[in-house]
């Protein structure tokens, strides 16, 4: 697999998240308040809940179901009840387009299977 365009940068305002599908995998794109974009799997490791509707902090996203938050660089949970990380993927911006590569998972978190 190679880099794939998943969204236009203009579709993701700072401080927001959105879900995109890449090869049947739900991915959560997060644009931090500093404008940087991160890509994590869109399924909370605690209760299989989507993350894209969650609260965005400086470098974390919080699951709306039970309040677990995850570091956007490492995928590690910052708060309970989650104890397992979520997958984090390589992400870049090229000419105003957001690209990710699922083959470049940046941590060793297992990919959730439903």
Domain count, the chain: 1
Instruction: Give the Å distances, CA to CA, from 109 to 16, 60, 62, 112.
Output: 23, 16, 17, 9
Instruction: Give the Å distances, CA to CA, from 44 to 11, 29, 34, 48, 65.
Output: 23, 14, 24, 5, 9
The pLDDT, as a whole number, for residue 54 is 96
Tens digit of pLDDT per residue, the chain (114 long)? 699 999 999 999 999 999 999 999 999 999 999 999 999 999 999 998 999 999 999 999 999 999 999 999 999 999 999 999 999 999 999 999 999 999 999 999 999 875
* Domain at 21, CATH number: 2.102.10.10
Establish if 111 belongs to a structural domain.
no
The pLDDT, as a whole number, for residue 9 is 98
pTM: 0.95
- Nearest C-alpha neighbor of 68 from the set 52, 83, 89, 88: 83
The pLDDT, as a whole number, for residue 2 is 92
Angle at 51 between CA 47 and CA 92, to 5 degrees: 135
Establish if 50 belongs to a structural domain.
yes
Which range marks the domain in which residue 68 is found? 4-105
Residue matched to tokens 């902090």? 57
Cβ proximity of 14 and 35 under 8 Å: yes
């Amino acid at each position: 697999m190679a880099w794939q365009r998943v969204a236009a940068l203009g579709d993701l305002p700072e401080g927001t998240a959105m879900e995109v599908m890449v090869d049947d995998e739900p991915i959560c794109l997060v644009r931090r308040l500093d404008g940087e974009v991160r890509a994590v799997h869109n399924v909370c490791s605690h209760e299989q809940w989507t993350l894209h509707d969650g609260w965005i902090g400086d470098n974390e996203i919080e699951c709306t179901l039970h309040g677990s938050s995850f570091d956007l660089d490492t995928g590690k949970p910052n708060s309970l009840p989650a104890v397992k990380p979520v997958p984090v993927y390589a992400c870049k911006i090229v000419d105003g387009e957001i690209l990710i590569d699922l083959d470049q998972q940046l941590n060793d978190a297992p990919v959730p299977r439903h």
